[in-house]
Chain A
């Protein structure tokens, strides 16, 4: 048995029936971690603790009181603070930072019986789309052959850890696509919940109004397990929604168990006409249209929608995200924690030295850009204008959602790019073309594998719904996943 053959759903079945123990599953996971070391998916592994947790899980099964995810090997993006476990955000600044608190997301998953394998590698502070900007080295896409392919970013390590069969579930954060885009490049499912549905408490901030903790899994059903575990109001997060979290799981498990035929009769799926004229590789374009045909055959009705402001989303996103991040990263001054160079004469010198050494190039670039768009004289032209675009975009999408159940669009304009010298910041930013609009409007979105390109690389498509229609979105995604059968659940 290989862990790559398992899903959360199937593993739980085996655990419940006693065919496998949590310790056995953990060992499979650890074998894979060892075997796939060269992918560099992890910054920290927590093997010792995992062993104890697995034994505890086995006791729970023996006592017939397993929790929802009892014994499931999981990995957390290194943005989630984990008590007594080093949390770096992929940065030298936090190279030796050991939090004394547990983030809401990781705590909920811990309380539900998951076994933490480790903390995954990522772009520093979530800033990047190719996982190249980590102090702990870049990450390799498991689909790489001769050339090294981008695993996507910033949650590259989490995506790779699931795709390469090291863990069954992983958390990530999605500020502008950082879950959906790596999910798409790695041929797995990435779920970005409605903003406010999942608490950001204890999750290191990149851009607060856009940051969304979410889940990677091999299947839609697996991500539903994850979402069910982490959703819900948290009084420690002022932006956490007070709307009651829905049941994301029961319907899906029922469909999985019944194995009945699945169709899309009665579903209205939106297609944004402006995407037609946007930068989009032929292979993705083709996958979008063949998928559309498949879904139509299954009874879905397609509605053409117009989002005229879609093309402004990328610049608006980068303006807002970088502005917020310039303030969010101000706390890393080397005084209370984190990298500190004490050789400066004044405290300002000390802060300058610590920040110059502690932050990588891309982070420094984004802090400078973010500071600039807020500076007096630029604020109205950049930040205010971007905020207006965000509002207009939101309104356009709300009109669109009245006409359909969900919108189908590409997750990324291309398949995983080759990592070479031609990667530039602007090129990197443009990979987020289709993911950032969704963060700007706060909607839930899911990237599901739609099959492979001619070159054998995964292509993901995303479904986007109205805020707080996460349950409905997951149900539709589950159906579509089964209709297109784009990717078998046996990993790479």
Chain B
């Protein structure tokens, strides 16, 4: 097992490490927007999810969507944060055409959730705690469309006003890998809690990455840059790697690194300066007078906490321990809730075999044969006719050698396609199972008698001839028996002859 080691970077003046903090914007799963009753559907036609409030018409007022507040609390509890009994919305003032109010309703120094932490896996058995500073809620902006005309830009306000949760970490990550792991784990958590769909390609999750370098062993932070709106794991890695290289070069040449906001260019994998701190907007935050202080009772928080499901990270750790499976297997299982539930259902529907052996057996076929079959067809487990109890039955009958491997796989494919039980499938496929040892012995004896040359070869010590014998038996039984059982019987019969 390889132990994880955070990467370091050799510069002219010493060895550096990278320090990364993230701000993850997550669209809250909600039918309607944060302060208006407009729908939030991603696929709607341009400017159709818009009402007078979203357009900031004169006299329109925002009304806080309490469902979004609940989702934020749930998410906060999911990363062991502290939901605040009193928090406040604030106006963040700036002018931009996709921001009709001329200010974004966000939260300043009184966010809805403070603190929290979250573990990521560095290797099979190593975890690292990433601490979280806060979660706050705010409105999303609209979108500018620049490619409709060469000399005009257009505004789409569909996204304008959708609720976002911004999760801000402390600068705890030391590699692109850790940063990606964090966002992956977070995505899993949000999906499990159903507080955000986590679809990065649709922009439901966007990451701002703060990157700085410092010499290994130093405790003060270097000057950081913030790369905005990165929306895939691949781009995250590219953006971080680019920033590391760029900043390292600047340290080498003695250039001063500016604290600035940068944009990631998906076409060339580079980041580009957008604005420096000196030119940074003064957002003039102040409490939004249209929205009353958000008061959340401790009872309510306790109630949401009580109803939290098992969190993905806890589940991974439990699976690894209980089933003795690898991190990779645990990741695969836990990353898909449907499969995970299906699997747990299946493995728990019997108590035969030791739990670890059972898990190994069940997961093996699930991750290779079933996933392979599904992926080829772009189907989900629920689209097939295979129910967990039938899978359990099949696995146990395979394990006890009632069903030979090849037949079991044929049956599995048949049930995936047509549904039903193992026995129904056997009937459907017109399979006769030759697993009666005495019957097999008769067939084997027949083969041994009619093959004196091969027996002689075996006697002379050529054990590889065993394969030929098994092949003959398979031919005779039309493949409907288990090669391992055949091998056992052949060896015992041939040994008898040899000893005679």
A408 beta carbon closer than 8 Å to chain B: no
Would B97 and A335 count as touching, CB distance under 8 A?
Answer: yes
Tell me which of A234-242, A394-402, A428-436 binds B. A234-242
> Of the candidates B284, B285, B289, which one forms a contact with A208 in the assembled complex, judged by CB atoms under 8 Å apart?
B289
Nearest CB on A from B38, distance (A): 14
Give the number of residues in B that approach A within 8 Å (Cβ atoms): 30
Residues of A within 8 A of B61 (CB): 200-201, 236-239
Residue A205 at the B interface, CB < 8 A?
yes
Residues of A contacting B57 in the complex (Cβ-Cβ under 8 angstroms): 99, 101, 336-337
A236 to B61 CA separation, bound complex (whole angstroms): 7
Alpha-carbon distance A323/B100, docked complex (angstroms): 19
In-complex Cβ contact of B284 among A87, A94, A101, A376 (8 A): A376
A202 within 8 A of B: yes
The residues in B between 154 and 203 inclusive whose CB is less than 8 angstroms from any CB of A are: 155
- Cβ of A330: which chain B residues have Cβ within 8 Å of it? 93, 95, 101-103
A371 within 8 A of B: yes
B58 in contact (CB, < 8 A)? yes
- Chain B residues lying within 8 Å of A335, measured Cβ to Cβ, are 97, 100, 155
Interface bits A292-324 vs B (CB < 8 Å: 1, else 0): 000000000000000000000000000000011
Most buried by B among A80, A201, A209, A330: A330
Contact (Cβ within 8 A) B63 A327? no
- Tell me whether A336 and B56 are in contact in the complex, defined as CB-CB below 8 angstroms, given that A237-B63, A348-B95, A351-B95 are known contacts: yes
Cross-chain contact B58 with A327 (CB below 8 angstroms): no
Residues of B within 8 Å of A237, CB to CB, are 61, 63
- Among B47-100, those with CB < 8 Å from A are 52, 55-64, 91, 93, 95-97, 100
* Interface class of chain A by DSSP: loop
In the complex, are the beta carbons of B59 and A81 less than 8 A apart?
Answer: yes
Q: How many CB-defined contacts (below 8 Å) exist between A and B?
A: 101
Interface residues of B in 410-448 (CB under 8 A from A): none
Q: Determine if A100 is an interface residue (Cβ-Cβ < 8 Å).
A: yes
Q: Is the CB of A327 within 8 A of B286?
A: yes
Q: Any chain A CB within 8 A of the CB of B325? A: no
Residues facing B in A95-138 (CB within 8 A) are 97, 99-101, 103
Q: Does B95 lie within 8 Å of A204, measured CB to CB?
A: no
User: How far is B61's CA from A383's CA once the two chains are assembled, in angstroms?
Assistant: 23
Provide the residues of chain A in CB contact with B286, threshold 8 Å.
Answer: 323-324, 327, 374, 379, 383
A235 cross-chain contacts in B, Cβ below 8 A:
63
Q: What's the nearest-Cβ distance from chain A to residue B309, in Å?
A: 32
CB of A207 within 8 Å of the partner chain: yes
The residues of A that contact B292 with a CB separation of less than 8 Å are 238-239
User: Which A residue sits closest to B282, measured CB to CB?
Assistant: A376
Residues of chain B within 8 A (CB-CB) of A97 are 58
Q: B59, A203: Cβ atoms under 8 Å?
A: yes
Contact with B along A352-389 (1 / 0, CB 8 A): 00000000000000000001001110010001000000
Residue pairs across A and B with Cβ atoms less than 8 A apart, 15 shown, are A202-B59, A238-B291, A239-B61, A324-B289, A330-B101, A330-B102, A330-B103, A331-B100, A333-B102, A336-B100, A337-B57, A374-B284, A375-B284, A376-B284, A383-B286
Closest 5 CB pairs of A and B: A330-B102, A209-B289, A208-B289, A374-B284, A331-B56
Excluding A235-B63, A239-B289, A347-B97, 15 further A-B contacts by CB distance (< 8 Å) are A80-B59, A81-B58, A100-B52, A101-B57, A202-B59, A204-B58, A237-B61, A239-B290, A324-B289, A327-B93, A331-B58, A335-B97, A347-B153, A374-B284, A375-B284
